[in-house]
Amino acid sequence: MKIIVTGGAGFIGSNFVIHMVKKYPEHEIVNLDLLTYAGNLENLTEVEKAPNYKFIRGDIADRKFVFDLFEQEKPDIIVNFAAESHVDRSITDPESFVRTNVMGTTTLLDACKEYGIKRFHQVSTDEVYGDLPLDRPDLFFTEETPLHTSSPYSSSKASADLFVMAYHRTFGIPVTISRCSNNYGPYQFPEKLIPLIISRALADEELPVYGTGENVRDWLHVSDHCVAIDLILEKGRVGEVYNIGGHNERTNLEVVKTILKALDKPESLIRFVKDRPGHDRRYAIDPTKMETELGWKPQYVFDTGMKQTIQWYLDNKEWWEHIVNGEYTKYFEKMYGERL
């Protein structure tokens, strides 16, 4: 089997590529990534010399490039992680989200239609369901929850999902979609909450918490997400959506305080800043379908997963330090300058 993983140099994509290259030496894993600011080949040093691994640089929204690639590689499976993934960036630059997340996905689907494919798997997000109220802990997102998006990011991901389903129904493309909750773990770009807080706390810098810090996210270790997608490729039913989450709901403030405690840093570093426009209040996944139909169960509990993740950032300072000290400083000033 030849599997093209798009966005395989990003956070979850690189964890997935490593998982697949190691677990399936008989499969060829092709990592297709544009290497935007979020793509980093250093994430893949562990597998870069593996005989069943290959990297190709390219843009999923470049039709000629994608069609030539299909012609040449003749993939059996596509797993589409490639995306603009940061909500705050989608508020300042929605168009790049439409281009990659929507047009990129339809370009890949068109190539599947032209050349044939055994499976197209779309890596989607729980954000397509919008948010849940904070005072209704009994409510969860199921696969039947209507799409109801808040940000340009989630709107672009929901649009892509609709196209994926339309290509299944209209053209018979064998698709699956997974919608996962917030991931944490190694190689997450330090613009996202957990690595941002770890890196800034270690430098004794102020920690920006949006609004009151009461918004809730449902955290899942990236390895559990990768295993879930692997299972969907193996046993998932074509045309189906699978929600992935491990019932690990925490307020943002709880997450920040957990990190401060683990690093032995004072809570006085916390700085409440202007809220994210349209900020989703609570995400919470009901993973019953993954559990009952595919037998998936997350392996990580949040506390140990977080301890290991914090340790990973301590052990791999050079990985994130050059990001934090480089171009990214300009982003931080631009993004947070008006909030503080």
Binding site for ligand NAD (CB under 6 A): 6-7, 9-13, 33-36, 38-39, 59-61, 81-83, 85, 100, 104, 123, 125, 157, 180, 182-183, 189
**DSSP per residue over 177-224, as a string?**
EEEE-EEESTT--TTSHHHHHHHHHHTT--EEEETTS--EEEEEEHHH
- 104, β-bridge pairs: none
The per-residue DSSP string of 54-73 comes to: EEEE--TT-HHHHHHHHHHH
Q: Least CB distance from residue 38 to ligand NAD, whole Å?
A: 3
Binding partner of residue 210 among ligand DAU, ligand NAD, none, CB under 5 to 8 Å per kind? ligand DAU
* Strand (E) or helix (H) holding 124: strand 119-125
Residue of 153, 167, 242, 300 marked active site: 153
Report the Cα 237 to chain-centroid distance in Å.
Answer: 22
Q: How far is the CB of 308 from ligand DAU (least distance, A)?
A: 18
User: From the list ligand NAD, ligand DAU, none, which binds 82 (C-beta under 5 to 8 Å, kind-based)?
Assistant: ligand NAD
- Nearest residue to ligand DAU, using CB? 125
Alpha helices in 212-327 (DSSP H): 222-235, 252-263, 288-294, 302-315, 317-325
Minimum CB separation from ligand DAU for residue 207, in Å? 8
State the Cα–Cα distance between residues 95 and 316, nearest whole angstrom.
33
Catalytic residue among 33, 59, 84, 126: 126
Task: Provide, rounded to whole angstroms, the least separation between the CB of residue 208 and ligand DAU.
Answer: 4
**How far is Cα 108 from Cα 121, in angstroms, rounded to an integer?**
11
Question: Nearer Cβ to ligand DAU, position 174 or 211?
Answer: 211
Is position 127 annotated as part of the catalytic site? yes
Q: How many Cβ atoms are within 10 Å of 94's Cβ, its own excluded?
A: 16
Specify whether 338 is catalytic.
Answer: no
**Least distance from ligand DAU to the Cβ atom of residue 283, Å:** 5
Of all residues in the shown chain, the one whose CB is closest to ligand NAD is: 10
* 175 beta partners: 120
Question: Do 15 and 185 touch, CB atoms closer than 8 A?
Answer: yes
Interface with ligand DAU by CB under 6 A: which residues?
85-87, 125-127, 181-182, 192-193, 196, 208-210, 215, 217, 252, 276, 283
Gap between the terminal Cα atoms of the chain: 51
Q: Choosing among ligand DAU, ligand NAD, none, which partner's interface includes residue 209 (Cβ < 5 to 8 Å by kind)?
A: ligand DAU
The interface partner of residue 105, options being ligand NAD, ligand DAU, none and the CB cut-off 5 to 8 Å by kind, is: none
Whichever of 21 and 60 has its CB closer to ligand DAU, that residue is 60
Residue 141 or 163: which CB sits closer to ligand DAU?
Answer: 141
126 is catalytic: yes
Q: Which does 283 bind (CB under 5 to 8 A by kind): ligand DAU, ligand NAD, none?
A: ligand DAU
CB burial of 147-156 (b: ≥16 within 10 Å; e: otherwise) equals bebbbbbbbb
Secondary structure class of 241 (helix, strand, coil) = strand
Name the residues annotated as catalytic. Answer: 126-127, 153
